[in-house]
A and B are shown apart, each in its own frame.
Chain A
Amino acid sequence: MLINITLLFLFAGIPYYLLFEKTKMISHEKIFFLSVMLVLTGMYVAYSYPHEFGTPFVIVSLLSAVFSFYKASRTTNFYKFAYYLLFVNAPILILFSLEQSALYFIALILTLMGVYSIAKHYEKNYGSANYHSVTGVIVITPFVGGFLSIYLITLALYPPFPSALFFLHTIFVADISVLWYVVVLFIFFANFILAMRVMGKTVFGKPNGKIHYVDLTRGEKTVHFLIFILLFILTIWEFKEIFK
């Protein structure tokens, strides 16, 4: 039981970010890193200590995910978006076995690291990681627009990107129940809606004439290219898993 409660917390199954947001103990950027670290720790703990989650844990994580979905749909800040997305996907780790869900989450974290890097770029050049006014980036800053599109398409669970393949693969091998349906449908649509919302608001649209747009530097491009290569490797890996 204790291990399950610990893991529920570590797997972002409860919205502990609320505490940090309320008390402003740490910045949004750090909340994201903390959440990622805790999830990775949780995965290690889960790997080391065999466990099985009961239905109540799944329901709690689902409620947390629904709440995080609401929060994610209200923000236009990339840091917040990144950690809310982690919490939205938490039921995957709770519902499925670690063997099934680990790669999905690694791909998710990798993609969110990409989003985080874009957030850093926005913060450096536009004063904040908030994308509300930074519209039409694909037109003016094609590298930012291009990489961000890849991350958002990955998050929206579009094939052939790794998250979609892991998701599909997981569905094929899972034991199906009503709760399973609810969780899977929710995760699928929540990811899609949130990613497409961001896509519409910052990647596309009319560029904002009041902003001096800046594209990625050479160093930033290298970082994003590395993330893209890693996602590509995961895609090939998962293809192999599917056709094993």
Chain B
Amino acid sequence: MSIIDKLTAIQDTIPHYWPIGSFIHHNPLKGFEDMHFKDALAKAQSIFGGRVYMEPAYYLGLYDEGKIQLPCFEKNLLKMLKEYSFEAHEEEAKQFLMEVSPQWESFRSYKKLKVAQLDMDLVRHLEVESLYNNKKAYVEKLLADMTLYEIHDAMFDTNEKEIIEKEIIEYISRFLDEAQATIHMDNRDLGMFNTFKIYEGMSYKGDAQSYVESALETLKIKDVEAYFLTHILKLHGWAGFIKYRSQDENYFSQKEHPSSLIDYLAIRLYFELKYTEKTKLNDFEKLDKYIEDNHAYACLKLLQNKGKLSGKYIDDMEEHKGYTKILEAYVGEEIRLDALQIQEVQNALPTLNATLTFLEIFIQVLRREEGFIWLKSLEDSYIYTYVDAFIQAPKPQEKPLSAATFCLDVRSETIRRKIEESGAYITFGAGGFLGIPIAFVEFDKAHELLLAPAIVKPQNIVFEVPLEDYHEYSTKNTMNKTSKKVLSDLKNNPYTPYIMVEAIGWIFSINLFGKTFFPKKTNAFFENLKAKKPKTTYTLDKLSKSTIEIYVRKLHIKIIKEKLNSVHIVLSEEEVEHLWKHLVFDARLTIELPEKILYALKVEYHISQEDYLIQKEKLSRVGFTLDEKVMYLENFLKMIGQVKDFPKFFTIVGHGSVSDNNPFESALDCGACGGSISLPNTRTLCMIGNNKEVRERLVQNGIDIAEEVRFIPALHITTTDEIKFYDTEVLDREEIVRFEQVKEDFSRASMEAREERMAFLPNTNSQEEMLIKSMDWSEPRPEWGLAGNMGVFAGPRSSAKNIAFNNRLFLHSYDWKIDNDNADILTRIFDGPLVVGEWINLEHYFATVDNRVYGAGSKVYHNVVSKVGVYNGNYSDLKIGLPSQSVLLEGKAYHEPVRLLTFMEAPLDKVGKAVENSIAKPFILNEWIRPIIIDKEAKKVYSYEYGEFIVIKELP
């Protein structure tokens, strides 16, 4: 097995990381999804440490609140007890989980140990079982997850870890920088390790792989895979980002500045060798020998380093009492504490008539299983509650004036309910990107945004182009950009701040004081300064071959002219044309130009045949063919179950969030649209929907959209619950009057939704305060975002109408009767929305259960680094996951961590087909979500658990 194979074997363990600019919610344990949820969590805990379930006290709190129902808890407990043949002790097990376990740690008391009468048989039993009896295994356990320099620090009270990690972070954050630094690192195009060699002045000639091989040899590592994992988990955020880059061949920065995990390991090992080479223990053989000679001392130092040694032993070590005696005393006391804990449990469970050694096993099992039992009981309780709500008789619906289809998000639940309450409206929910993946190039921007889930690669490019004169916009925008750049350059230049602080520092005070004391007025002031974007439309039609050729030629000619201008060379139009033909088609050059310029145009500016073909291929992807337009609209309408009786106005509502000074802003936008707002998807779809040709073709497919029906795009601002409409030019005068009523009702619904949501947001007593949160730069929690998300409902709206879910459910419209026998529509829902829903749900789950390990910690300490993420203070690991403010409130969980409860109203066989066909199959079958099938045809409700569909309710 080569070094690379060994690295590949462990790289799935590294949590996924996407750059923060397009924050994608993700399951940090994605690499474990091929295992059952419960087993995967146990494995993750052994690797990352930390918690994977909430503390028992948390679940008990939910039990007291009535959220966990006793029958669910008892059923799950009994099932587990049967697996271990402990069912005879059900009452004691229940008592243990409810009364004893929450105070488990307090039983381990030094104070009580002093006066306790211990059962000597139990102590002897624990002594025999103790790992300490096997010296080698005992040391190995202490050394697990430690690098050589960490062991050295532990043994000799040095501080090499701090220095080494700091050096590594300093280098990789500079190398991976994406234009945050003012002064860039040179030679990054050589790759991460080659640049590093220059950076460190290394004379080493080989590549990263050979360097790693030689370093492993020098360090005399026995288990290479384990050591790789140990190293990588030291900074798993950075490692996750490097893995992400190296696996995405289209990631621009990766193409420019290549990096890989093997490069990263080479760098880590370089620093390890550098700082340990002159120390006493500079390889693992010497370490083994040292530990063999100084077993007690080494164990004590390792225990001390891990925080396991209580103060009195450290006192004894300070006074150099015999180390062997200290270690034996420590181990003896630990065993006695273990015995005390067991005895205390026995006292707390007087009805349990069993030996103490049996009790030890009984406790071990219950402690291991309790997290999962509580979690599943909480989920089951919610399942029963919601199933009862979903199976109520559907409410009759009058002919709606308008339908509003919301881009799927839990935050649309309240507003949808309020809209429906405000008049003759029907709402739908459609998977994130509305089933139309696009690469979107915004007006006045040069880069494309991929508006689709991270797993989908959009094939159609959409350009936003102005519909009206934009001279004023351009002038104002250029002026703003220039002023911003000048100020930024003056601020970031190493020398200018000395003068500029005094000269123009006061300018920044407008921002500082204005945003702090008058956020609303300051926001309005800066909004006025911004250039007003002209009205725009999208390029939805395909370009002809000749048009594509003209565009590519124009683009190249423009670049050539700019380059020539920059070096003060003036050529006529014909000469430029000749030059272009020479560069692209290798035509004979009739004019004389310096070789340097020709080289620059070809290599630096990419004016070549290769680029010509690339650009042509790119432009051929602009817009949609008629077939594609028909296909996307048809899929969309079928997905939400709207194929007939279209209302007059058919609004499609995307969503986005507004907040200030928030590096995690894109986490609040549309996760299924690559962490961007989903307005372009809705505008595109509405333009397609209003297209006459498309409608004519749809009639052939059985979908008749009356001529009078208008598709109107809109945007739901999730921070303020406002809804803004776009492209209303398609309405005539009479329609505008009718649409005013819709706007009025939607506006009232927004207000009522804010009123309802206000109760859940801290420090928010009025609608005004809620609106200010979106512009307050000191607000760590502008909205709750997706916190609280708990499940998905895929079925007709009538089953979920008027039920208040408090923004906790993704409500996806689906009508199984429209779906074909192969369940293609449901499969698409599984492949897109369900995958994204699972990522969102598990990201919140893990960030809540242990924010230190799986989350980003407090926003208060965050600084943006390299424009790819945040870290704490001035150097730390790259923070993965969500900040504590997104899931916790005053240190307690606001988000209730449960797996995604996926309710589907459809026949069982249809769901089975969809599971079989879907890419989501592994995580569905491994129970990373909780599928619940409401089969109204069979009059049964099924839940998928323990590897099978079981009936949990019979319908009347």
Contacts and interface: CB of A to CB of B under 8 A. Distances in A.
Range, interface on chain A: 20 to 34
Contacts of A206: 852
B111 interface: yes
B318 A75 contact: yes
Nearest to A124: B111
Given A128-B314, A128-B315, A210 B308 contact: yes
A132 B110 contact: no
Contact of A134 (B105, B110, B311, B313): B311
Contact of A74 (B108, B307, B318): B318
B311 A133 contact: yes
A122 interface: yes
Contacts of A122: 311
A133 B310 contact: yes
Contacts, number: 59
Interface in A181-206: 206
A76 B307 CA distance: 13
A4 interface: no
A228 B382 CA distance: 50
A222 interface: no
Nearest to A129: B311
A36 to B, nearest CB: 21
Interface in A116-133: 122-133
A212 interface: yes
A100 interface: no
A6 interface: no
B872 interface: no
Interface centre among B109, B314, B852 (most CB of A within 10 A): B314
A135 interface: yes
B861 to A, nearest CB: 12
B308 A127 contact: no
Range, interface on chain B: 10 to 19
A127 B110 contact: yes
Contacts of A208: 307
B307 A133 contact: yes
Interface centre among A21, A126, A128, A208 (most CB of B within 10 A): A128
B172 interface: no
Interface in B299-326: 304, 307-315, 318-319
A127 B314 CA distance: 11
A135 B304 CA distance: 12
Given A77-B318, A124-B111, A125-B111, A132 B311 contact: yes
B106 interface: yes
A127 B307 contact: no
B314 A126 contact: no
B314 A212 contact: no
A69 to B, nearest CB: 16
A133 B108 contact: no
Contacts of B308: 133, 210
B458 to A, nearest CB: 43
A135 B310 CA distance: 12
Contacts of B312: 127-128, 130
Contacts of B319: 21
A133 B111 contact: no
Contacts of A126: 110, 310-311
Contacts of A212: 105-106, 108-109
Contacts of B110: 125-127
A125 B109 CA distance: 8
Contacts of B304: 132-133
Interface string A70-103: 0000111100000000000000000000000000
Contacts of B105: 212
Nearest to A132: B314
Contacts of B314: 76-77, 128, 130, 132-133
Given A212-B105, A212-B106, A128 B318 contact: no
Contacts of A74: 318
A122 B318 CA distance: 18
Nearest to A125: B111
Contacts of B311: 76-77, 122-123, 126-134
Contacts of B109: 212
A22 to B, nearest CB: 10
Nearest to A78: B311
Contacts of B111: 124-125
A120 B432 CA distance: 59
Interface string B68-82: 000000000000000
A75 B319 CA distance: 10
Nearest to B105: A212
A174 to B, nearest CB: 36
B315 A77 contact: yes
Given A74-B318, A77-B315, A212-B109, A128 B852 contact: no
A147 B109 CA distance: 24
B315 A130 contact: yes
Interface in B98-153: 105-106, 108-111
A194 B110 CA distance: 29
Given A124-B111, A127-B110, A132 B309 contact: yes
Contacts of B315: 77, 128-130
Nearest to B104: A212
A95 to B, nearest CB: 31
Nearest to A76: B314
A133 B305 CA distance: 8
A131 B314 CA distance: 9
Given A77-B318, A128-B312, A210 B307 contact: yes
Interface centre among A75, A77, A129 (most CB of B within 10 A): A77
A127 B852 CA distance: 28
A124 B111 CA distance: 7
A214 B314 CA distance: 20
Interface centre among B109, B310, B313 (most CB of A within 10 A): B310
Contacts of A123: 311
B108 A135 contact: no
Interface in A121-168: 122-135
Contacts of B313: 128
B852 to A, nearest CB: 7
B318 A133 contact: no
A125 B307 CA distance: 16
A19 to B, nearest CB: 14
Contacts of B318: 74-77
A124 B311 CA distance: 11
Contacts of A133: 304, 307-311, 314
Nearest to A126: B311
A208 B852 CA distance: 13
Nearest to B110: A127
A165 to B, nearest CB: 31
Contacts of A21: 319
Interface in B821-858: 852
A212 B310 CA distance: 12
Nearest to A134: B311
B106 A135 contact: no
A71 B315 CA distance: 13
Contacts of A135: 307
Contacts of A76: 311, 314, 318
A208 B313 CA distance: 16
Interface in A33-70: none
Contacts of B106: 212
A21 B318 CA distance: 11
A125 B110 CA distance: 7
A127 B307 CA distance: 14
Contacts of A134: 311
A42 to B, nearest CB: 28
6 contacts: A75-B318, A76-B311, A77-B315, A128-B313, A133-B307, A133-B310
Closest 3 CB pairs of A and B: A130-B311, A128-B311, A128-B312
Interface of A: 21, 74-77, 122-135, 206, 208, 210-212
Given A128-B312, A132-B304, 10 more contacts: A122-B311, A124-B111, A127-B310, A129-B315, A130-B314, A132-B309, A133-B311, A135-B307, A210-B307, A212-B105
